[in-house]
Amino acid sequence: MANILTEYEAASVLRVDTDDQRMLDLLPLVDGFIKNATGYDWASDATVEPTAKSAARMLLVMWHENPAMIASYVSSLNFGLQSALTQLEALALTFRFVEGASSAGFISLPGVLEGDTVSSVTGIIGVSGDQSASFETVISENGYIQQLSSDDLSDKWFRVKITKPSEL
């Protein structure tokens, strides 16, 4: 199972060996904490968001240096870590999830408006990686995203990142 930080990245920040058992035990705890704090599983992305890596490094160092902080994490969050978690939570709120259709056409995506930019489409179930070519790049109808591909994408799920014109 992949973690936000690779064993090499974690060992590098802690200046320990890659097989350090304490570090290895902490990696899934760090991932779980960040997932619970932001509402999104950052470790599941093919390319992990740099802010998630930064938050994971800060949390890993805090917990590795002072294991007692694991039990009292709420009061122990430093400003940098709290800022990173807030940024990740805001980013997670821009993600939408949609199931593909059996052929080209419109798929319901509540809350999107004509003119919103489809910043990315990533396959998460049944398909992986960048799937942007299968969907429109700008929302053309309120409440819908258009699947351009005539391939049967039903039973496949996608994470769509929408950017509002005011955010560009």
CA angle 23, 15, 33 (to 5 degrees): 35
* Model pLDDT for residues 49-60, shown as the tens digit of each residue: 999 999 999 999
Residue at 64: amino acid letter = H
The mean pLDDT value of the chain amounts to 90
39 has pLDDT over 60: yes
70 has pLDDT over 80: no
Q: Tell me, yes or no, whether 78 and 13 share the same domain.
A: yes
Q: How far apart are CA 154 and CA 156, in angstroms?
A: 5
Domain span at 155: 95-167
- Tell me whether residue 1 is in a domain: no
Is residue 153 domain-shared with residue 132, that is, in the same domain? yes
Residue 139 burial (C-beta neighbours within 10 Å; 0-12, 13-18, 19+)? buried
Which of 92, 120, 153 is the last residue in one of the domains?
92
CA 122-124-128 angle, to 5 degrees, is: 65
Phi, psi of 44 (to 5 degrees): -80, -10
For residues 67 and 125, membership in a common domain is answered with: no
pTM to 2 decimals?
0.68
* Res 129: pLDDT: 86
Per the structure, the count of domains in the chain is 2
Q: What is the pLDDT of residues 122-168, one digit of tens each?
A: 998 999 889 999 999 999 999 999 999 999 999 999 999 998 887 76
